Amino acid sequence: MPKIQAPKGTRDFYPDDLLKRRYLERLWRDTSIRHGFEEIDGPAFEHADLYKVKSGEGILAEMFGVFSGKAAEDLDRVRQTGEAPFALRPEFTPTLARMYAARAGALPKPTKWFWMQNCFRAERPQRGRLREFGQWNCDVMGGDGRLADKEALAVMRGILDEAGLTAHDLSININSRQVTQALMREAGVPDASHAAFLGFLDGSAKRSPADNERRLHEIGVAVQVASRFGSIVQEFASAHRSGNQEWETRLAGTDIERIHDVLRDQDLQQGRPWIVLDPEIVRGLAYYTGMVFEVIAEGERAVAGGGRYDNLIELFGGPPTPAVGFGMGDAVLSLLLEDKGLMPDATRAMECLSRLPASYRPEGFVFAAGDEAQPRVRPLVAELRRGRASEAWRNRSDRKPWDADRYAACGVRPMHARHSYKATRNIGKLLQDAAAQRARFAVILENEHEATLKDLDTGSQDTTRTPIDRVPAELARRLTPA
């Protein structure tokens, strides 16, 4: 009998391979949980129509059809239309939108979900691109959109930090489709061609000039217009780099100010800034409406990508719900970590996997007792989630992210921290919120400098105040079983 191989573009994971995959998944899951995301899952195959709503041509052209071999009507449909009733999920966002829409009324605002499973695309397999690949998604639906953008970027940066990657290895390039569309208008791209032109831009750098010309012709955009658009983008990028404010006015009516707000965010940009404006980023999926972003490492495909999709949940029958999210695949991330010496061998991976996972219960729930302390809430939450690597570890030239001493001694391990999304300053109500989210400790910022801790399991509250910058170490100490 001839040996049957695995389908091309799929992988067999022998034990040592799987340990590395589980290491990545552990990073994904632990980081998501510490940032207050909850895990969900949906079917591996969906009605093919689900992807026709708004995923765009790129996705539709690369789907695997699925049909029941038992149902004659399924087979008839394939024979007659060439299309299968079901498709292997090429991405998770349509399932997420369907699930959110089905229960929108009962879900909190914001709802923060993560998801980790495989996706499937009938692409030509190449480096970093497979037909079955692992993907991690994080999405924030509802609530304050500006905050949600930052939360999505923060959890994404969190995983890169935890994996040992730095701003020397990659950058997070952001843009807004609203900005891109304003630039299209300046260049004279007809309004009716905006969506198609966005589709054209994604990947245009990888296509031949002839191929690009052919596509422009198809979508009814003159080559001169496209060329003018390219020049305007360069002009904008260069003005942005030199701090020229004139563009703020030209881009009025777009979310350019929100993009600048992200670029200025201290928590997201701490250390060497990772996040840069890149007006050439548009992303391929048809449903993005505002901010879009990509994690870019030299010589590799995008490590992650995402954006804001404010209309998608409504399209799936839910209420109007602003939303933002991203996906990160395991294939490119694995290549990058291997290249940088940041992928543990099987023995190291076993050690990591045998350690205590992130706490599903929030360990610290932070809120301010008054307005003056409010600006300290998010930075403290960010610090708790990040942890603080020990000095001994930071000074080691051969340090690796999985070293047991990374957060030992004078370091502070990363924790699961949350803050309230409620506008109230009523401490009783905020404590109820903490309890409803099953938090272990409430961290009450009494003023700009001091906090008190309340153990929500025992109900005992400190009378002494802890300086805010010592809260992470103090909370870690209280959480360690005696």
Considering only residues 361 to 400 of the shown chain, the ones binding a copy of itself according to CB under 8 A are: 361
The token pair at 423 is 């506008």
At its nearest, how many Å lie between a copy of itself and the CB of residue 440?
10
At its nearest, how many Å lie between a copy of itself and the CB of residue 343?
16
Rounded distance between C-alpha atoms, residue 204 and residue 200, angstroms: 6
Q: CB–CB of 171/296 below 8 Å?
A: yes
> Which member of 226, 256, 358, 475 binds a copy of itself (CB under 8 A)?
358
Footprint (CB under 8 A) of a copy of itself, residues 97-156: 98-99, 101-103, 113, 118, 120, 122, 132
Asked if 347 is part of the footprint of a copy of itself (rule: CB under 8 A), the reply reads yes
User: Could you give the string, one character per residue 26-45, with x where binding to a copy of itself holds by CB under 8 A and - elsewhere?
Assistant: ------------xxxxxxxx
Segment near a copy of itself (CB under 8 A); pick from 147-155, 222-230, 348-356, 424-432? 348-356
Determine how β-strand 132-141 pairs with β-strand 45-47.
unpaired
Cis link prior to 110 (omega < 30° from 0)? Answer: yes
Segment near a copy of itself (CB under 8 A); pick from 78-86, 215-223, 292-300, 380-388? 78-86
Segment near a copy of itself (CB under 8 A); pick from 80-88, 160-168, 215-223, 224-232? 80-88
| Burial grade of 346 (CB within 10 A; 0-12, 13-18, 19 or more) | middle
Residue type for position 316: F
Asked if 341 is part of the footprint of a copy of itself (rule: CB under 8 A), the reply reads no
At its nearest, how many Å lie between a copy of itself and the CB of residue 310?
17
The token pair at 361 is 């219960």
- Between 369 and 479, CB nearer to a copy of itself: 479
Angle at 327 between CA 419 and CA 43, to 5 degrees: 100
Asked if 10 is part of the footprint of a copy of itself (rule: CB under 8 A), the reply reads yes
- Between 165 and 358, CB nearer to a copy of itself: 358
Asked if 345 is part of the footprint of a copy of itself (rule: CB under 8 A), the reply reads no
Segment near a copy of itself (CB under 8 A); pick from 184-192, 350-358, 380-388, 453-461? 350-358
Phi/psi at 100 (5° precision): -65, -45
User: Could you give the string, one character per residue 415-454, with x where binding to a copy of itself holds by CB under 8 A and - elsewhere?
Assistant: -----------------------x----------------
Rounded distance between C-alpha atoms, residue 401 and residue 66, angstroms: 41
Asked if 79 is part of the footprint of a copy of itself (rule: CB under 8 A), the reply reads yes
> What are the strands, taking DSSP E only, across 323-469?
323-329, 364-368, 417-419, 441-445, 450-455, 466-467
> Which member of 53, 237, 342, 369 binds a copy of itself (CB under 8 A)?
53
At its nearest, how many Å lie between a copy of itself and the CB of residue 136?
15
At its nearest, how many Å lie between a copy of itself and the CB of residue 466?
24
Asked if 50 is part of the footprint of a copy of itself (rule: CB under 8 A), the reply reads yes
Footprint (CB under 8 A) of a copy of itself, residues 285-324: 315-317
Asked if 354 is part of the footprint of a copy of itself (rule: CB under 8 A), the reply reads yes
Residue with tokens 């089905």: 102
Footprint (CB under 8 A) of a copy of itself, residues 225-284: none
Q: CB–CB of 67/78 below 8 Å?
A: yes
> Which member of 185, 260, 264, 355 binds a copy of itself (CB under 8 A)?
355
> Which member of 13, 260, 410, 477 binds a copy of itself (CB under 8 A)?
13
Residues paired with 326 in a beta bridge? 138, 306
Asked if 455 is part of the footprint of a copy of itself (rule: CB under 8 A), the reply reads no
Residue type for position 269: Q
Rounded distance between C-alpha atoms, residue 74 and residue 315, angstroms: 26
> Which member of 28, 67, 197, 393 binds a copy of itself (CB under 8 A)?
67
Residues in binding contact with a copy of itself, number by CB under 8 A: 77
Element (H, E) at 296: strand 291-297
Q: What residues contact 459, with CB distance under 8 A and at least 6 apart?
A: none
Asked if 331 is part of the footprint of a copy of itself (rule: CB under 8 A), the reply reads no
> Which member of 66, 256, 282, 431 binds a copy of itself (CB under 8 A)?
66
> Which member of 35, 56, 86, 343 binds a copy of itself (CB under 8 A)?
86
Rounded distance between C-alpha atoms, residue 293 and residue 152, angstroms: 10
Rounded distance between C-alpha atoms, residue 3 and residue 454, angstroms: 63
Segment near a copy of itself (CB under 8 A); pick from 55-63, 150-158, 171-179, 457-465? 55-63
Asked if 480 is part of the footprint of a copy of itself (rule: CB under 8 A), the reply reads no
- Between 120 and 293, CB nearer to a copy of itself: 120
DSSP character string of 110-157: SEEEEEEEEEE--PPPBTTB-SEEEEEEEEEESS-HHHHHHHHHHHHH
Asked if 61 is part of the footprint of a copy of itself (rule: CB under 8 A), the reply reads yes
Q: CB–CB of 295/160 below 8 Å?
A: yes
Helix (H, G, I), strand (E, B) or coil at 38: strand
Q: Which of 130, 151, 114 is nearest to 30 (CA)?
A: 114
> Which member of 28, 31, 32, 46 binds a copy of itself (CB under 8 A)?
46
- Between 347 and 464, CB nearer to a copy of itself: 347
Q: What residues contact 377, with CB distance under 8 A and at least 6 apart?
A: 366, 367, 368, 419, 445
